[in-house]
Amino acid sequence: MHKHKAEGVIPQYLLKKLANEGNEKAKESIVRTKEILKKRMDKPIKRERDVTISSAQPVRDHNPDRHIYDCEHTESRRKKLARSEGDPATNDDDVNRAYDFSGICLDYFKNVLNRNSIDNLGMDLIFNVNYGENFLNAFWDPNRQEMVFGDGDGKTFLSFTRSLDVIAHEKAHGITEYTNNLEYAQQSGALNEHFSDVIGSAVKQHAKRESADSADWLIGNEIVGPEFGGIALRSLKEPGTAFTNDPQPNHMSKYKDLPVNEDGDYGGVHINSGIPNKAFFLVSMEIGTDNAAILWYNAWNNREYLHRHAQFKDAFEAILKTAQTLSSQGMMPYNTEEAVKRAFSEVGIYSLVGV
């Protein structure tokens, strides 16, 4: 069994590519990320209790508070509390963006997904911004139950708080942890990354009042710098087009069978996620992005299909079953079930399932 892993919004293979091109900050970020992850994986995830709650249950009354810490360009987390719930804006843009964007995420979770914060019990949000010297990453730490955001180097990457979808992406990793805790390797790991991209894109579109056909469907386009060599980290609409030599496939015929180690992106978790990402885009184009996000979120709570080691075909079955249930209850458009079948057929997953 593979240990639970998580990298950050910038995968190791991309940081190594940049390091090989002479980016010294990428080299430093690789070393530091490895150190963080090793410490994290050596400790079990501690919770007061195992929380898995159906999205059909009412949202809890407790309102989560936001606590934004300024690392002051050191590697010490929770170094200086810069802004807490209800406090006025500061003169630090990273602190204010973390506060404001996390509020947008919380509102989306509550009002669209009917979820109260990451754990559905009103968990307070802990952010660490201005982490390290030009640190090139952002991540959710499941052991410490907090988020960390670097400032970027101003060339390859800008500050990671600049992107609403990146903040939502990292928080969605927490949701996955509290629902099905998908193993971070191969297809289950790709589904883990996929769900974070789904929620990141949905939150951004909702906040910008975009429709599925007017959205850019890009992840992290606000954080890429002038020397990045692309327009974003990923594209859900056209996987494989976000940057030069973007390795994401858009169909199972192009699936990349990679080794389960950091050089292989833990079996392609950031790479093969392009396949279900494309399916989400296609479903959204038929029923709307918020409806698709509700559908995916409810499927994520279905442990019968989406267990810890779930594969792409399991995700399809969970989403299809959820589409049938919600449509029969009048909670989804009439064409949702067929939209799901068409989308997963177009990316080559539906044909893998004997239904």
For residue 222, give the amino acid letter. Answer: E
Is the pLDDT at 61 greater than 80, yes or no? no
Alpha carbons 117 and 110: distance in angstroms, whole number: 7
Which candidate in 4, 206, 270, 317 is catalytic? 270
**Band of residue 41 on the pLDDT scale cut at 50, 70, 90:** very low
User: What value does the CA radius of gyration of the chain take, rounded to a whole number of Å?
Assistant: 19
**Band of residue 6 on the pLDDT scale cut at 50, 70, 90:** low
Active site residue 170: yes
pLDDT confidence of residue 30 = 80
Q: What CATH number matches the domain at 186-352, 3.65.10.10, 1.10.390.10, 1.10.8.60, 1.10.3720.10?
A: 1.10.390.10
Torsion angle, CA of 23/25/30/35, rounded to 10 degrees? 160
Question: Over the stretch 284-295, which tens digit does the pLDDT of each residue have?
Answer: 999 999 999 999
Mean pLDDT of the chain: 90
pLDDT confidence of residue 31 = 79
Is the pLDDT at 48 greater than 50, yes or no? no
Contacts with 275 (C-beta within 8 Å, 6 or more apart), sequence order: 190, 239, 249, 250, 251, 252, 255, 312, 347, 348, 349
pLDDT confidence of residue 264 = 87
pLDDT confidence of residue 12 = 85
Which candidate in 28, 170, 193, 317 is catalytic? 170
Is the pLDDT at 7 greater than 50, yes or no? yes
When comparing pLDDT for 307 and 6, which is higher? 307
The average pLDDT across 172-190 equals 95
- Whether residue 43 contacts residue 112, with contact meaning beta carbons closer than 8 Å, is answered with no
Is the pLDDT at 47 greater than 50, yes or no? no
Structure tokens of 105? 């995420």
For residue 75, give the amino acid letter. Answer: E
Structure tokens of 45? 């995830």
| pTM for the model | 0.91
Distances (CA, A) of 336 to 179, 281, 294, 318: 23, 13, 12, 13
Is the pLDDT at 58 greater than 50, yes or no? no
Distances (CA, A) of 86 to 65, 68, 83, 90: 9, 12, 8, 12
Element (H, E) at 7: none
- Whether residue 258 contacts residue 355, with contact meaning beta carbons closer than 8 Å, is answered with no
Active site residue 270: yes
Question: Over the stretch 230-285, which tens digit does the pLDDT of each residue have?
Answer: 999 999 999 999 999 999 999 999 999 999 988 889 999 999 999 999 999 999 99
Residues of the chain with pLDDT > 90, as a percent, come to 77
Is the pLDDT at 29 greater than 60, yes or no? yes
Question: Over the stretch 74-113, which tens digit does the pLDDT of each residue have?
Answer: 999 999 999 999 999 999 999 999 999 999 999 999 999 9
Residue range 12-179, CATH number: 3.10.170.10
Contacts with 242 (C-beta within 8 Å, 6 or more apart), sequence order: 218, 219, 230, 231, 232, 233, 234, 235, 248
Specify the length of the chain in residues.
355
Contacts with 64 (C-beta within 8 Å, 6 or more apart), sequence order: 106, 116, 117, 122, 123, 124, 125
Question: Over the stretch 145-168, which tens digit does the pLDDT of each residue have?
Answer: 999 999 999 999 999 999 999 999
The ranges assigned to domains in the chain are 12-179, 186-352
The average pLDDT across 323-347 equals 97
**Band of residue 193 on the pLDDT scale cut at 50, 70, 90:** very high
**Band of residue 53 on the pLDDT scale cut at 50, 70, 90:** very low
Same fold, 12-179 and 186-352: no
Alpha carbons 337 and 283: distance in angstroms, whole number: 10
Determine the straight-line distance between the first and last CA of the chain, rounded to whole angstroms.
30
pLDDT confidence of residue 44 = 39
Nearest by Cα to 33 from 226, 271, 262:
262
For residue 352, give the amino acid letter. Answer: L
Is the pLDDT at 203 greater than 60, yes or no? yes
Strand extents, DSSP E, 220-322: 234-235
- The dihedrals phi and psi of 163, each to the nearest 5 degrees, come to -110, 115
Cα dihedral sign, 101-103-106-107: negative
For residue 195, give the amino acid letter. Answer: F
- Whether residue 167 contacts residue 148, with contact meaning beta carbons closer than 8 Å, is answered with no
pLDDT confidence of residue 222 = 97
Distances (CA, A) of 80 to 24, 110, 127: 28, 29, 11
For residue 243, give the amino acid letter. Answer: F
- Whether residue 186 contacts residue 260, with contact meaning beta carbons closer than 8 Å, is answered with yes
